[in-house]
Amino acid sequence: MTQETVTKIYKIFTRLAFNITVIVLLFSIFVGLVRTILELGLIFTEATIRLGFKELVTNVLSIIILLELVRAFVDYFEHERVRAEILIEIIIAFVIREFMIYIFAGSIKGYDIALWALAVLALTVARTLAVRFRPYKKPHQD
């Protein structure tokens, strides 16, 4: 087998794996949206409004994380690389989701809030740097 053949096989399997992953993620987003809509009644039926909103916020932020993951996969197909700013945006969404869960659970104190805020600030600075200092793309040489 030549190097070209191996590379073509690799690209075919990579595209297949990424396509299957995107389909699974899209299906998960659809299921998440349907469940979130169906669980809107929890806002009225839970013992406290806070518990109903906790479920709603957790579900919506989870869907946002899945949307960001799909965007990362689609971006990989467009640019044939994963951009750092997209990965950092996914991490920021995940950190904010976890922060909101802790807030609704009522198990977060002043010092913890400062640490979470510092984490979000550090990730935001990292994303800004990733956008500002993108890698130089060399022109194609034939």
pLDDT, tens only, 104-142 = 777 788 888 889 989 999 999 999 998 888 776 655 554
Residue type at position 59: N
Q: Report the pLDDT value the prediction gives residue 119, as an integer from 0 to 100.
A: 92
pTM of the model: 0.72
Tokens of residue 118, six digits:
């510092």
Instruction: Give me the helix-helix angle, 49-79 and 84-105, nearest 10°.
Output: 170
Each residue of 3-60: pLDDT tens digit? 889 989 998 998 898 889 889 988 998 998 888 888 777 677 767 666 777 778 888 8
- The structural domains of the chain, with segments of one domain joined by +, span 3-132
Q: Report the pLDDT value the prediction gives residue 141, as an integer from 0 to 100.
A: 52
Range 35-41 contact pairs with CB under 8 angstroms and sequence separation of 24 or more: 35/59, 36/60, 36/63
- Per the CB < 8 A criterion, the answer to whether 73 and 29 are in contact is no
**77 closest CA partner among 34, 19, 32:** 19
